[in-house]
Amino acid sequence: MLMDLGLPSSFAAANGTTYQKIAEYYRLKHGSLSQLVDWMKREWQISPAQLKNSELHRLIVELDFPLVCTTIYDSNLEMSYETFGRPFTRTTSAKDMATAPAGKTQIVKYHGDFSDPDTLVLTESHYVERLSFDAPLDIKFRSDAFASTLQFIGYSMSDLNIRFLLHHLWSTWRRTELDRHRPPLFLFMHEPTEVQVHVLKRWGVTVLNGDGESSGASLAQFLERLLERRNPDAGGSIFCRSAEPL
């Protein structure tokens, strides 16, 4: 975006500017995000062969969660399910929610999908607008998180929308005075800090730390252990920020 806007690569760090602000400026300058979306679609495309060799993608598919919610825009996760022969349905809108077939993993694109650029949550305005949490996918996520065990992977909790939503979920349970019955929430991190652990614990999120040499290795080990110990009759959901390490 900085290159297209004629700004130096150091602009964001030097001025304390977030990518959301830069995306906002990009949209104002170009009139739309179409050029950026076309670039991301080209650059972020991964072949089925690469996905087939990805241990992380294989494990996510084999764990067979009924619900996978992700903030990534590309279709690599869906391609993984196709590559490993598992049925799924993609949800990006209220229509998808209403027509989702039973018995298939539901992949919810919480921040939109390249197939419909208008659904993308990318600019600062997009994030601010989502803070009201009254969009269909927000309502769905609140409902799913309220009643199900949720496991976050590949996620740093830097997303303001998700942090706000977790706080809202925690406060809602507290008001019921039945929060002891709240389903557990887990977050896997390779090297969590003491600050992250304690702040998330306040919101009812248990941080699980890895012991591998890298974030990718730690995550693969964690998912492998989860696969070995899973209860095939238990439900649950997983929230994938990304599954980038291939």
Three-class SS of 157-213: CCCHHHHHHHHHHHHHHHHHCCHHHCCCEEEEECCCCHHHHHHHHHCCEEEEECCCC
* Residue 196, in any domain of the structure: yes
* Residue 210, in any domain of the structure: yes
* Residue 27, in any domain of the structure: no
Where in the sequence is the domain holding 85, given as residue range(s)?
46-240
Q: With 80 as the cut, is the pLDDT of residue 243 above it?
A: no
Which amino acid would we find at residue 72? I
Question: Comparing C-alpha atoms, which of 133, 196, 159 is closest to residue 71?
Answer: 159
* Residue 141, in any domain of the structure: yes
* Residue 55, in any domain of the structure: yes
> What are the angstrom distances between the C-alpha of 109 and each of 26, 215, 222, 230?
23, 23, 24, 25
Residues contacting residue 59 through CB under 8 Å, at least 6 positions apart: 220, 223, 224, 227
- Reported as a single tens digit per residue, the pLDDT across 114-143 is 988 888 999 999 988 887 778 898 888 888
* Residue 5, in any domain of the structure: no
* Residue 177, in any domain of the structure: yes
Q: How many domains does the chain have?
A: 1
Mean pLDDT of 61-69: 92
* Residue 14, in any domain of the structure: no
Whether this prediction's pTM lies above 0.75 is answered by yes
